[in-house]
Amino acid sequence: MPRPPQNSGRPGTSLAGKTEKRLVLNVARLAAIRILNGVMTEQKQLSEMTKTDEFKALAPEDRARTQRLATHTLRHVGRADRALRPHLAKLPAVEVLNILRLGVVEIVGLGAPAHAVVNDLVSICASSSQTRPYKGLINAVLRKAVADVSGKWDKSPVQMMPKWLRNPLREAYGNGTIMAMETAHMRGAPVDLTVTSDPQSWAETLGGTVLPNGSVRLDDMGQISALPGFGDGKWWVQDAAASWPAAWLALKPGEAVLDVCAAPGGKTMQMALAGAEVTSLDISASRMERVAENLARTKLKADLVIANVLEWQDERQFDAVLLDAPCSATGTIRRHPDLPFAKDGTGISELIGLQAEMLSAAARRVKPGGRLVFCTCSLIPDEGEVQAESFLEAHKDFVVDTSVPKGMEAEWRTEEGGYRLRPDYWADRGGMDGFYIIRMNRVA
């Protein structure tokens, strides 16, 4: 019998031979469901699952669609569950529930044709011995839930953060702010670019707007590597919030700067573009390969060092040091909606301890009269404001810098002198990642 052709991507496609019948499933939906199962049942992160050979074997358009379906479903799990619950006598296994969730989100949230989606998901359900007994349930519940929720989707409450994160943040920020953050998480994240020159021209070329800090925010993402200027290294992808730490150092040509935890290299490239002599330090050899690739594409230079800053034997001191410390990454949920499901809050205390050690180690690398920027992409004050307060109490030779970086709003300044950035800021522009940033100058 001839080998069946590869999946065309059309939902519900089937192939019939003379002696057997083979169903070709929609590979993007099937892959998205497998990602949802990995996140929900094995606490795997989306970034981990998209590095598998199975995912890489998908056609580029199927990889893009898989990620879109998986991330959109993760952002709307709460809404999907509310739509499904009235039609379920009891909750089925997570693997079955994820098929239902994806169906509701794709049909109601993304506007896909209901008939095609339901038929394909029933076939996906039937393709596994674990879920096969539930194919009738998938068909009946999806049709009822979709009919019931149509026209009400946008009025349904947004996905809440998990209790391990929501409770401490509610104490720090209050209910109103938490709800605004959750709305920002649901909306997702646009693509921001740091450009090497003339932001307005690139905004016009690529279709976007220039943000107050000089980043270019795209109106439509598309395929990043196919956009003008990518191959020439004229810009790189970097959330607006993540561009402020390096900008706040206000580097001058020829100054020596150390970038600690440098991968994937956005801040290193910013500092090299300013004309500084950059030493880029990271503990991961594989992640440092990406820094090297990015520097080669942008034709910028830095000295790459693979080492742990706590054990690095080089005794040099620098005019400026930037530490983007390992953290819970809770400020990036709008672009990584898998984090609330893949993490449970364990290990944060250990991270806080590591941050304190790394901050002290970074401070020793600052020349008298030099400056130190500490930042984390976390929403948790213990990884930001509290960390900075403790450092300043223990290091009297450092004082808080009172300048306001370009585009930063003064009301974002916190009591100890840093800046608290939140995903609900710039809501009318599409938000920003959650970040904590502080600049401290060493007394000469």
Q: Assess if CATH 3.40.190.10 describes domain 14-155.
A: no
Strand partners, 278: 257
How are beta strands 318-324 and 435-442 bridged, if at all?
unpaired
Report whether 95 contacts 41 (CB < 8 A).
Answer: yes
CATH code 1.10.940.10 region(s) in the chain? 14-155
Q: What whole-number distance in Å separates Cα of residue 296 and Cα of residue 280?
A: 14
First to last CA, the chain: 81
- pLDDT by 10s per residue, the chain, length 444: 333 334 444 443 332 333 333 445 799 999 999 999 999 999 999 999 999 999 999 999 999 999 999 999 999 999 999 999 999 999 999 999 999 999 999 999 999 999 999 999 999 999 999 999 999 999 999 999 999 998 899 999 999 999 999 999 999 999 999 999 999 999 999 999 999 999 999 999 999 999 999 999 999 877 898 999 999 999 999 999 999 999 999 999 999 999 999 999 999 999 999 999 999 999 999 999 999 999 999 999 999 999 999 999 999 999 999 999 999 999 999 999 999 999 999 999 999 999 999 999 999 999 999 999 999 999 999 999 999 999 999 999 999 999 999 999 999 999 999 999 999 999 999 999 999 999 999 998
Can you give the pLDDT at residue 24?
58
Strand partners, 280: 259, 304
Q: What residue type is 367 in one-letter code?
A: K
CATH code 3.40.50.150 region(s) in the chain? 239-442
Q: Provide DSSP, 236-281.
A: EE--HHHHHHHHHT---TT-EEEEES-TT-HHHHHHHHTT-EEEEE
Q: Which residues contact 364 (CB under 8 A, 6 or more apart)?
A: 317
Q: What whole-number distance in Å separates Cα of residue 42 and Cα of residue 38?
A: 5
Helix axes 77-84, 60-75, angle to 10 degrees: 70
Total-model pTM: 0.90
Give per-residue burial for 53-77: e unless 16+ CB within 10 Å, then b: eebeebeeebbebbbebbbbbbbbb
**Residue 218, H or E segment:** strand 216-218
377 labelled catalytic: yes
Q: What CATH number was assigned to the domain covering residues 239-442?
A: 3.40.50.150
How are beta strands 192-195 and 21-23 bridged, if at all?
unpaired
Catalytic residue of the set 125, 261, 375, 377? 377
Q: Which residues contact 287 (CB under 8 A, 6 or more apart)?
A: 263, 264
